[in-house]
Amino acid sequence: PKRITTHTLLEMKQKGEKISMLTAYDYSMARIFDSAGIDVLLVGDSASNVMAGHETTLPITLDQMIYHASSVVRAVKRCLVVVDLPFGSYQGNSSEALRSAIRIMKESGGHAIKVEGGSEIKESVLRVLSAGVPVMGHLGLTPQSIYKFGTYTVRAKEEAEAQKLIEDAKMLEECGCFALVLEKIPSKLAKRVAEEINIPVIGIGAGPHVDGQVLVSHDLLGITNEFKPRFLRKYADLHSIMIEAVANYITDVKENTFPNEKECY
Ligand code: KIV
Ligand code: NA
């Protein structure tokens, strides 16, 4: 299949074709998502929650992100692989950001990186872009700043915060970012941003008037069971399916009906 590039995504926006994006953290799942035809896989730092069981995205390290990303890259034939720069690997200064981005590109084979924030990280964004590494922005609810916000509630409901978000979105476009994620903001604001900038806007909890959607794969598949925000649509209940499968296996082992004759050598 023809590979999706950052340029393909731009063309999709121009044609009005929506972009589908999902998170992936490991080889087996990434293979399934790529085969299903997903456009973009995000090796999100949500791996910190979903894979490692941390309460926030803050603890995951650059080495751990590289491990997840390299597993995903080995699985894909078609989709674009974007990798989150984790907390602490780019905010300090732009040379640190560049070093982190280069490590991701060299050691995982990912195709692009994603960073959270606007004007605060402008120098880092420019420095990474100047090295030829495509950058995806991320505004609105930015989980790496959770201790500054205090909650995971909807962002930019007030005019001042909405205004800053619009300015940041324009700034990221001007810097040369190839796309932008908007997380958990009013649908109307997301629509305005998607109209006012020319790069693709991918929403999560940002309504339908954007250029594409992203979800955490374990949420969409119903593997995670406790997380139920309004914006989440569950496309499967793998939690129940997996519980039942494992329970049946346990029963068969206990009753000694597994393995049977055909399952022996
Ligand atoms: O880490 C992640 O899963 C993300 C998406 C929710 C956009 O950044
Ligand atoms: Na993330």
- 17 phi/psi in degrees, rounded to 5: -90, 125
- For 168, other C-beta atoms within 10 Å of its C-beta total 21
* Residue 29: per-residue pLDDT: 98
Q: Which of 120, 183, 255, 263 is catalytic?
A: 183
* Residue 49: per-residue pLDDT: 97
ipTM above 0.90, yes or no: yes
Per-residue pLDDT of the chain (265 residues; tens, 9 = 90+): 899 999 999 999 999 999 999 999 999 999 999 999 999 999 999 999 999 999 999 999 999 999 999 999 999 999 999 999 999 999 989 999 999 999 999 999 999 999 999 999 999 999 999 999 999 999 999 999 999 999 999 999 999 999 999 999 999 999 999 999 999 999 999 999 999 999 999 999 999 999 999 999 999 999 998 888 999 999 999 999 999 999 999 999 999 999 999 999 9
Does ligand 1 lie within 6 Å of residue 142's CB atom? no
- The CATH class of 6-236 is alpha beta
Catalytic residue flag (residue 183): yes
Residue nearest to atom 1 of ligand 1 (CA): 44
Q: How far is the CA of 48 from the centre of ligand 2 (A)?
A: 9
Query: Domain residue spans in the chain?
Result: 6-236
Query: Cα(108)–Cα(102) distance, rounded to whole angstroms?
Result: 10
Query: Cα(99)–Cα(265) distance, rounded to whole angstroms?
Result: 53
Task: List CB contacts of 178: < 8 A, sequence separation 6 or more.
Answer: 6, 9, 10, 112, 134, 135, 136, 199, 200
DSSP 70-95: HHHHHH-SSSEEEEEPPTTSSSS-HH
Does ligand 1 lie within 6 Å of residue 141's CB atom? no
Task: List CB contacts of 200: < 8 A, sequence separation 6 or more.
Answer: 9, 10, 12, 13, 19, 178, 179, 180, 211, 212
